[in-house]
């Protein structure tokens, strides 16, 4: 079971790989945009963090990753390619993908049916991962994506352990799931786009507080599943191929600590056949307070019991 | 000519009043599979649509995204539907690509319509133009078009016998929706609401875990007004006008706001909800 983690600079690549990443994923800056990008994160997030890498940093990151037997996933997971004059927009997108591949990416993450088809039509045969924006909630969607030639599916946040088990049983494709911070809304169907290039501070809109029916102020939309530490043993036993953390738009130091924590959980279980939750989460002082109260992704908590 | 499509997605739908101004009914639910099952199996509603079908009205089926644990049951329901007379030749509106794939596999002649949840566009964000305002004009134009406006996707969906799409509309998306129409798809516009997100979690159950699901708990929406935003570690008051939609509404697992007030006489159909029946007599589009 691989641990796949985000990077947003060469330094971040080194830190994440040293922290135990088996796979890294990253996007490339693109001169066609000022703030947006062909990846699911803007070149510049509203926090000011550069979420994608320059070509030079990308190439160095690939080289370092490969020297440590770490694979590189390239983010081409935008949803916004539409018809344009002379098809320049799709052509630029394909050029972006080719650049990433020529710089050494091992696989491409795609999140739009049109882009998936266009890649193959244009002779790009690099392995493709179906991103979570493709909303793969069931085995029929897996079958469709298999027909379109992907080798791995990234299952969205809000899918239960038993559902993942069922999906996995019905397919030969690799399965990737999220283990870190998650979304309240179904990511591929959410219109509160953030970290997309906006120059305003919208925060994380689904975690905002609202006055409900002119009375109390509550974070009524907050249904974020943010942690899967306790589920590592059963995910390992199930044979999940890859566990994904998010955070290209965040301070990478914070993400590195989370990477270390998940890596130690996986290693402890894989090597010693045991799992000491207390010991694992003690590496991040605030984790228990923030996460161990109904933020589980795959355990039977109130959040999961509210799933339709 | 623009027609009116009435959404039947609640159990308390009034079957006693006159719907002379409505040409089509779509029954089911666009976001909640549990509600879908309850509505589509409700005898009173089935009797009502049977009556309307006999009056020459079009009957359509609206389906939500399908979590794996409900996949077998929706397949059963679709098999049942095939045997119900009033659903013969019904267009099925899909909000799940896997369900689209399955329905087409079972019956390649079944006409399908893409649900609005399958369409993406930066302009659908409340602060859409703030996302792309720094980009060159030709980029701005491309990213404010709805995602279906793409030859690869349109060709792909046509192979699945998708002949229509639903859509929310903003000022900047009108043009691309009209182009989609020119490419051979019917375009049906929501005038009852504008969707912002769906959840797997139903907030009613989240706030009261002992709450069962009779299908009646989410018949009405709750109104939400933004109080404080959240960023990383803390809540804060809105510091600049970010154009947050206010009020928002939450109903079951669905978050939506008011539809934008944009003329839609070019659309093939206007989708309305039961509470709007009196305001949509044909003059206000």
B134 and A166: CB-CB below 8 Å? no
Tell me the mean pLDDT in the region A139-166: 98
CB pairs under 8 A between A and B: 268
Q: Could you report the predicted ipTM of this complex, rounded to two decimals?
A: 0.96
HEC readout, A15-30 = HHHHCCCCEEEECECC
The residues near A9 (Cβ < 8 Å, ≥ 6 apart) are: A50, A53, A57, A252
Chain A interface includes B239 (CB < 8 A): yes
Q: Dmax over Cα atoms in chain B, in whole Å?
A: 59
For residue A232, the enclosing domain spans 2-305
Beta-strand ranges (E) seen in B98-216 are 112-114, 162-167, 186-190, 194-198
Tens-place pLDDT, residues A169-201: 999 999 999 999 999 999 999 999 999 999 888
pLDDT for res B209: 80
Q: Give the CATH number, domain containing residue A7.
A: 3.20.20.380
Q: Is B238 exposed, middle or buried (0-12, 13-18, 19+ CB in 10 A)?
A: middle
Every domain of chain B and the residues it spans: 3-276
Token pair 């996986």 is at which residue?
A266
Tens-place pLDDT, residues A215-255: 899 999 999 999 999 999 999 999 999 999 999 988 888 89
pLDDT for res B283: 31
Chain A interface includes B175 (CB < 8 A): no
Cα separation, A244 vs A175, whole angstroms: 11
**Are residues B229 and B235 in contact, defined by beta-carbon separation less than 8 angstroms?**
yes
The token pair that represents B218 in the structure block? 């989410």
Cα separation, A14 vs A29, whole angstroms: 19
Cα separation, A153 vs A145, whole angstroms: 8
CA B207 to chain A, closest CA, distance in angstroms equals 9
| Degrees to nearest 5, angle at CA A137 with B87 and A187 | 110
Among the listed residues A76, A72, A92, the one whose alpha carbon sits nearest the alpha carbon of residue A10: A72
Residue of B nearest to A33 (CA): B135
Token pair 């799709």 is at which residue?
A90
- Give the HSE-up count for residue A201: Cα atoms under 13 Å, Cβ half-sphere: 14
**Are residues B13 and B274 in contact, defined by beta-carbon separation less than 8 angstroms?**
yes
The token pair that represents A33 in the structure block? 């945009």
**Are residues A208 and B228 in contact, defined by beta-carbon separation less than 8 angstroms?**
yes
A6 sits in which H/E element: strand A2-6
> Residue A67: pLDDT above 60?
yes
Residue of B nearest to A185 (CA): B199
The residues near A211 (Cβ < 8 Å, ≥ 6 apart) are: A217, B224, B225, B226, B227
CA B282 to chain A, closest CA, distance in angstroms equals 29
A143 and B98: CB-CB below 8 Å? yes
Cα separation, A237 vs A15, whole angstroms: 28
Cα separation, B113 vs B200, whole angstroms: 22
pLDDT for res B276: 66
Cα separation, A44 vs A58, whole angstroms: 16
Among the listed residues A229, A266, A226, the one whose alpha carbon sits nearest the alpha carbon of residue A246: A226
B176 and A82: CB-CB below 8 Å? yes
B228 and A84: CB-CB below 8 Å? no
Task: Tell how far CA B78 is from the center of its chain.
Answer: 19
Residue of A nearest to B175 (CA): A83
CA A144 to chain B, closest CA, distance in angstroms equals 6
DSSP letter at A270 equals: I
Token pair 């929406």 is at which residue?
B221
Residues of A whose CB is below 8 A from B200: 158-159, 186, 223, 307-308
Cα separation, A56 vs B38, whole angstroms: 56
Residues of A whose CB is below 8 A from B250: 220-221
**Are residues A281 and A261 in contact, defined by beta-carbon separation less than 8 angstroms?**
yes
The four Cα atoms B197, B71, B93, B277 give a dihedral, to 10 degrees, of -70
> Residue A292: pLDDT above 90?
no
B69 and A162: CB-CB below 8 Å? yes
At A160 the three-state DSSP class reads coil
Residues of A whose CB is below 8 A from B132: 36, 197
CA B5 to chain A, closest CA, distance in angstroms equals 23
**Are residues B24 and B59 in contact, defined by beta-carbon separation less than 8 angstroms?**
yes
pTM: 0.96
Radius of gyration of chain B (CA): 19
At B276 the three-state DSSP class reads helix
Residue of B nearest to A159 (CA): B67
Please report, for residues A159, A302, B33, B199, the alpha-carbon distance to residue B210 in angstroms, rounded to integers and kept in the order given: 22, 10, 20, 19
Among B73, B149, B152, B156, which would you mutate to test the A interface (most chain A Cβ atoms within 10 Å of its Cβ)?
Answer: B152
B230 and A135: CB-CB below 8 Å? no
| CATH node for B3-276 | 3.20.20
A152 sits in which H/E element: strand A152-154
The token pair that represents B103 in the structure block? 């329905």
**Are residues B268 and B178 in contact, defined by beta-carbon separation less than 8 angstroms?**
no
Bridge partners of B27? B8, B61
DSSP letter at B250 equals: E
**Are residues A174 and A219 in contact, defined by beta-carbon separation less than 8 angstroms?**
no
Bridge partners of A109? A75, A129
Chain A interface includes B218 (CB < 8 A): no
> Residue A213: pLDDT above 70?
yes
Beta-strand ranges (E) seen in chain B are 3-8, 24-28, 58-62, 92-94, 112-114, 162-167, 186-190, 194-198, 222-231, 234-236, 248-251, 254-257, 269-272
Q: pLDDT in tens for each of the 285 residues of chain B?
A: 899 999 999 999 999 999 999 999 999 999 999 999 999 999 999 999 999 999 999 999 999 999 999 999 999 999 999 889 999 999 999 999 999 999 999 999 999 999 999 999 999 999 999 999 999 999 999 999 999 999 999 999 999 999 999 999 999 999 999 999 999 999 999 998 999 999 999 999 998 888 889 999 999 999 999 999 998 779 999 878 888 998 999 999 999 999 999 999 999 999 998 876 555 443 333
Residues of B whose CB is below 8 A from A44: none
Please report, for residues A56, A127, B62, B65, the alpha-carbon distance to residue A146 in angstroms, rounded to integers and kept in the order given: 34, 12, 26, 19
Q: How many separate domains does chain A show?
A: 1
Cα separation, A102 vs A28, whole angstroms: 12
DSSP letter at B259 equals: P
The token pair that represents A170 in the structure block? 């019905």
B134 and A199: CB-CB below 8 Å? yes
**Are residues B67 and B200 in contact, defined by beta-carbon separation less than 8 angstroms?**
yes
């Amino acid at each position: 079971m691989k641990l796949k983690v985000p990077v947003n600079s060469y330094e971040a690549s080194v830190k994440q790989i040293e922290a135990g990443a088996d796979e890294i994923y990253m996007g490339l800056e693109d001169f066609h945009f000022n703030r947006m990008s062909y990846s699911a994160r803007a070149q510049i997030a509203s926090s000011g963090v550069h979420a994608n890498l320059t070509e030079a940093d990308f190439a160095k990151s690939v080289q370092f990753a490969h020297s440590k037997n770490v694979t590189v996933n390239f983010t081409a997971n935008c949803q916004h390619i539409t018809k344009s004059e002379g098809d320049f927009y799709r052509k630029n997108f394909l050029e972006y993908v080719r650049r990433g591949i020529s710089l050494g990416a091992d696989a491409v993450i795609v999140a739009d049916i049109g882009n998936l088809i266009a890649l193959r039509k244009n002779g790009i045969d690099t392995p493709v991962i179906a991103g979570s924006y493709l909303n793969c909630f069931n085995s029929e969607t897996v079958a469709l994506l298999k027909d379109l030639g992907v080798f791995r599916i990234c299952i969205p946040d809000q899918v239960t352990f038993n559902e993942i088990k069922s999906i996995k049983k019905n397919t030969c494709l690799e399965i990737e799931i999220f283990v870190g911070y998650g979304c309240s809304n179904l990511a591929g169907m959410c219109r509160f786009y953030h970290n997309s290039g906006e120059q305003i501070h919208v925060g994380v809109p689904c975690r905002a507080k609202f006055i409900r029916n002119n009375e109390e102020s509550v974070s009524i939309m907050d249904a974020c599943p943010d942690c899967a530490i306790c589920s590592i043993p059963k995910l390992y036993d199930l044979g999940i191929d890859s566990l994904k953390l998010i955070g290209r738009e965040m301070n990478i130091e914070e993400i590195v600590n989370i990477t270390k924590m998940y890596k130690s959980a996986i290693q402890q279980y894989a090597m010693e056949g045991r799992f000491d939750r207390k010991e694992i989460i003690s590496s991040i002082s605030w984790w228990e307070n923030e996460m161990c109260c109904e933020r589980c992704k795959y355990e039977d908590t109130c959040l999961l019991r509210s799933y339709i | 000519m623009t027609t009116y499509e009435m959404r039947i997605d609640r159990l308390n739908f009034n079957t006693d009043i006159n719907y002379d101004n409505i040409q089509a009914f779509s029954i089911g639910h666009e976001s909640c599979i549990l509600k879908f099952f309850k509505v589509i199996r409700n005898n009173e509603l089935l009797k009502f649509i049977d009556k309307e079908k006999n009056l020459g009205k079009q009957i359509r089926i609206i389906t939500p995204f399908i979590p794996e644990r409900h996949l077998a049951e929706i397949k059963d329901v679709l098999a049942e539907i095939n045997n119900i007379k009033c659903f013969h030749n019904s267009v099925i509106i899909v909000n799940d690509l896997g369900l689209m794939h399955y329905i087409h596999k079972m019956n390649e002649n079944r006409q399908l319509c893409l649900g609005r949840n399958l369409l993406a566009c930066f302009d659908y964000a409340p602060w859409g133009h703030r996302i792309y305002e720094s980009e060159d004009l030709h980029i701005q134009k491309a990213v404010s078009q709805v995602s279906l406006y793409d030859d690869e996707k349109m060709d792909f969906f046509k192979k699945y016998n998708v002949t229509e799409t639903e859509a929310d509309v903003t000022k900047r998306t009108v043009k691309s929706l009209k182009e989609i129409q020119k490419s051979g798809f019917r375009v049906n516009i929501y005038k009852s609401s504008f969707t912002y997100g769906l959840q797997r979690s139903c907030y009613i159950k989240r706030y009261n875990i002992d709450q069962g699901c009779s299908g009646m708990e989410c018949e009405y929406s709750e109104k939400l007004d933004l109080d404080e935003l959240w960023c990383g570690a803390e809540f804060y008051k809105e510091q600049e006008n970010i154009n947050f939609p206010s009020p928002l509404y939450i109903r079951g697992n669905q978050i939506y706001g008011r539809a934008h007030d944009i003329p839609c006489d070019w659309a093939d159909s206007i989708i309305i909800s039961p509470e709007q029946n009196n305001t949509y007599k044909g003059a206000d589009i």
